[in-house]
Chain A
Amino acid sequence: MAAAQQATVDTGKVKDLLAAHRAEMKRYLSHCMHCTLCAESCFLFMARDKDPRYMPSYKVLNSLGVLYRRRGRVERSFLEKIKKIVWRNCVLCRRCYCPVGVDIPRMIALARAVCRSQGVYPDFDEQGHQESWL
């Protein structure tokens, strides 16, 4: 894990992953109306005193949304930042509901895949005792 943290980001791999789902994901991102009506469908949002950072739309826009906006050109520090969003702030229970029909879990899953491709994922053996993941 420590070696993975020091390694640079393979932007080519990240770009390939993003490109494979570009049409669908860009369409979903562009049709999110930022209405926040999805918020209550997330049990973590409800359990965290309705903290906006736990809204499904917030999680998607600040992880996958930024990845697409930067066209995959991201640093490891950014991937470490979104690791908390896509793993700790979302358990991918697939219960988030979008009135327009945007497939939010699919987008979080892709953000996780991008992180995982760069060795960025929670290591419970090492980090489990350091911070609360749920």
Chain B
Amino acid sequence: MEEFIRGPLVWIAFAVFFAGLLLQGWLFFRNTSPRQRRRLAVPEPKKKKPQKDKKTPLTPAALYAWLVNGSSACYQRHWPRLRRTVLFTHPFMTVVTVVFHTFLFAAPLLARAHNELLRRGLGAGLPSLADAAVDAMTLVVLLCGAIFLWRRLLVRRVRAITTFYDYLVLAITLAPFVTGFMAAHHWLDYHTVILVHIGCGELMLMAIPFTKLGHMIYFFLYRFLLPGEYSFGQGSRAW
């Protein structure tokens, strides 16, 4: 069992992870309706920008007027829309979510031990950060996870739609970080903890394409490829 977790299951987990991502990507394109694809294929014409007067000399007064009026116009145009974004309605959660996802990727990819294993196995690895930096990132990930858990348990609106599955997904995500931190600091029996850590990591990799964690790939597909009012594709207002 131990040999299986340390050996073949690692490759199985990576194979399931990458094949699952490819499968989900293929399913997305297969199931996107023709109407949506047509909208993707024909971008909306861009509005012509008003041409600047090239003859105006660049005097300090002109520069000042351009800066003030330009900034004011920019503010008036974008502020009302920005004010209603998640960044402004939930600044704390936006920061927590962005930091969580950034470190969720950075910590395992830049961990020295992981890259050492990669170099031994494949002959090449990513650059590594100092152990202390990876430790700090891991703790931040766990802190953000604790905030998510706190919201699920105590915030009324989140509790209203929380199911057991949400706790399970959170546990699957955080388990490799808890066990990784314990293994790095040799808490409890190292041999057992590192085995559990490897198993948790493999479980998470295999779960990503087939669970809620699939938003890892679908976030980008939804945001960039499906045109809509809020997407980065060529969407237009529906109201």
Contact = CB atoms under 8 A, between A and B. Distances in A.
B6 interface: no
A23 B218 CA distance: 14
Contacts of B119: none
A12 interface: no
Contacts of A23: 27, 30-31
A14 to B, nearest CB: 21
B74 to A, nearest CB: 22
Interface residues of A, number: 32
Contacts, number: 83
Contacts of B113: none
Contacts of B187: none
Contacts of B97: 35, 99
Interface string B82-95: 00111001100100
Interface in B203-218: 211-212, 214-215, 218
Interface stretch (B10-18, B56-64, B161-169): B161-169
A39 B85 CA distance: 12
Among A39, A40, A101, which residue has the most Cβ atoms of chain B within 10 A? A101
A121 B175 CA distance: 47
Interface stretch (B134-142, B189-197, B223-231): B223-231
6 contacts: A27-B218, A31-B214, A33-B212, A94-B229, A99-B86, A101-B221
8 tightest Cβ-Cβ pairs between the two chains A and B: A101-B222, A52-B160, A23-B31, A52-B157, A40-B89, A94-B238, A34-B161, A36-B157
Interface of B: 27-28, 30-33, 84-86, 89-90, 93, 97, 155-158, 160-163, 166, 211-212, 214-215, 218-219, 221-223, 226, 228-231, 238-239
Given A33-B212, A100-B219, 6 more contacts: A30-B214, A31-B218, A36-B157, A52-B160, A53-B160, A57-B161
